[in-house]
Amino acid sequence: MCGIVGFIGNRQAKDVLIEGLARLEYRGYDSAGIAVLNKGEIEIYRSKGKLSVLKELISDKKIDSKIGIGHTRWATHGKPSDENAHPHKSKRIALVHNGIIENYLQLKNELIDKGYEFSSETDTEVIAHLIDSLYKDNLFEAVKNAIKKLKGSYAIAVISENEPDKIVVARYDSPLVIGVGENEMFTASDIPAVLSYTRKFIFLEEGDVATLTKNSVYIENNGKEVKREIKVIDWNPVMAEKAGYKHFMLKEIYEQPRAIIDTIRGKYSLEEGEIYFGEVDYETIKDIEKITIVACGTSWHAGLVGKFYIENFAKIPVEVDIASEFRYRNPIATNKTLLIPISQSGETADTIAALRMSKKMGAKVVSICNVVGSTIARESDGVIYTHAGPEIGVASTKAFTTQLASLFLFALFLGQKKGVLEKSEIKSILNDLIQLPEKIEEVLKHDKQIEDIAKEFVRYKNFLYLGRHYNYPIALEGALKLKEISYIHAEGYPAGEMKHGPIALIDKEMPVFVLGTKSRVYDKILANVEEVKARDGIVISTVTKGDKDIISKSDYSFILPVTLEELTPFLNSIIIQLFAYHASNLLGLDVDQPRNLAKSVTVE
């Protein structure tokens, strides 16, 4: 979740850039930098660490500039460092970039053959040199020609010493806005960066390329000039951080399609039917015979789904342990064991302890984490970053589904390497995976329906969540979400366990939330629904489009798009998250900061 800020006008650019970057700090970052045109030359100041380090770096510099670009970086290609921080410079131009360039190695080799030298590990430096190689005293044309060669996602802002009166920006599959002021223009990856200067914004669309001067905006798409509407934003700064949503949790629920795209991007080739994990050296884990997943809370639920994925796609036995129990039960690990710790923050105390204990026993460690440079990331042999961006709401949403996405791809990766999956199988599975964000968007359209149904149920004191196979962990997660933010008692169970105790509780005062999407155990779930109804239970269900049987026996149903059975946990997760959110909101509770809970449990 990198941040971009750009300015051209009559103010001191460095002040606007630093303030803008500060307003984007909530997005998370590991380094920051600015590039300004000072006395006709581009000067770049950048550093690893917090924005305060950058401020100290420029505090004694004599900078008089009315144009510049700034960036906060969340590492993707290359570790957090001064060299990898943005902006990147190539002779006459400087550039900042959000996104991932999938064909950067091919382009890099071509540029090296042309004599360009690289000083960073980033894919972004490739874009800077590429634009310079195409530059013929027209920055706009050079950017247009350069992006034709890029595969992947980008939001870029570019300045040139030869054209000190303009900023050129472009976007594809990564957000970028233009702020329109009085004799000044701004660009940013998110509205809060420049909201204190203007409330007029142009939202760039896919494929847009634009030139900004201090009093004009020119936009092209596919070689033709286009006009984009200027929209007036009536947000205060706090609302801006929430993008207009009432709570961070709701915003983060709606960010899940984008978060999943960012998490899986660059890790697969649909054409080749292959999965890539540059962060993981397969040679170090190729001899593993067993996998142990350790995590806490919601991450543990993700691990339970991951067990199904890995055993199905890679045929490797998997144990899933609660980290706080793992560390006290004399676990067995060897150099044939792969430990997968899962942690949103990378600082969960019990999970760190489990990691260290396993490493002492010789296990290899590949972690799944959302925070670059965190303790778990640093101490692992390999790390898979989820790229969910900062999650402010205590109840995890997008961190959870990006963990699922990482586990899904890693299972395919292992299945590919072990020779369990053919390329044709991987291509077929990937076809469904890349459609997943769009299908999540469809599920989000149930929001109002979910709110209306939640109104009917907030008076109930108890809930039961049931799921089977891939979705039994989602039943556990649904119950946890309802408990932690609405304070309604809820229990999640594998549906087959209902007759082993919970069925005694079912009556007209016990709503039962059934995850009933199509699966190999659909008939079993249907039987469970019938058993609930026979005892006067109230059934709320999720079903796959075209279902008739569970719908006919449910009091309320949410109809979800058709997808692979393995991907139904993603769609079901959206429903249970929104249901918990609306229950809490309707009860007037603090959705983002529920009582007694912390975002990261960093002590035992």
Q: DSSP assignment, residue 222?
A: T
Q: Round to whole Å and give the CA distance between 260 and 440.
A: 10
234 CB-contact burial (10 Å; exposed 0-12 / middle 13-18 / buried 19+): exposed
Instruction: Give the separation between CA 109 and CA 236, rounded to whole angstroms.
Output: 47
DSSP state string for 103-165: THHHHHHHHHHTT----SS-SHHHHHHHHHHH-SS-HHHHHHHHHTT--B-EEEEEEETTEEE
Q: Residue 35's beta-bridge partner residues? A: 44, 69
Measured CA to CA in angstroms, residue 374 lies from 31, 78, 330 at distances of: 14, 15, 26
6, β-bridge pairs: 69, 187
Determine how many CB atoms are found less than 10 A away from the CB of residue 362: 11
Determine whether 114 is exposed, middle or buried from the number of CB atoms within 10 Å of its CB (0-12, 13-18, 19+).
exposed
Rounded Cα gap, residues 497 and 581, in angstroms: 27
Please tell me the number of Cα atoms within 13 Å of 495 on its side-chain side: 26
What radius of gyration do the chain's Cα atoms show?
A: 25
DSSP lists the bridge partners of residue 210 as 169, 219
From 50, 200, 553, 599, active-site residue: 599
SS3 state of residue 383: strand
CA distance 205 to 221: 9
Distance set, CA 50 to CA 12, 21, 53, 385 (Å) = 22, 11, 6, 20
Strand partners, 146: none
Cβ proximity of 189 and 98 under 8 Å: yes
460 phi-psi bin (left φ>0, alpha ψ -120 to 50, beta other): beta
The pair of three-digit structure tokens given for residue 233, joined into one six-digit string: 């934003």
**Beta carbons of 380 and 346 less than 8 angstroms apart:** no
User: How far from each other are the two terminal CA atoms of the chain, in whole angstroms?
Assistant: 30
Active-site choice (2, 66, 108, 398): 2
How many residues comprise the chain?
604
**Token output for 553:** 């026996």
Name the DSSP class of 101. B
The CA-based diameter of the chain, rounded to the nearest angstrom, is 81
2 in active site: yes
Phi and psi at 395, nearest 5°, equal -75, 115
- The set of catalytic residues is 2, 599
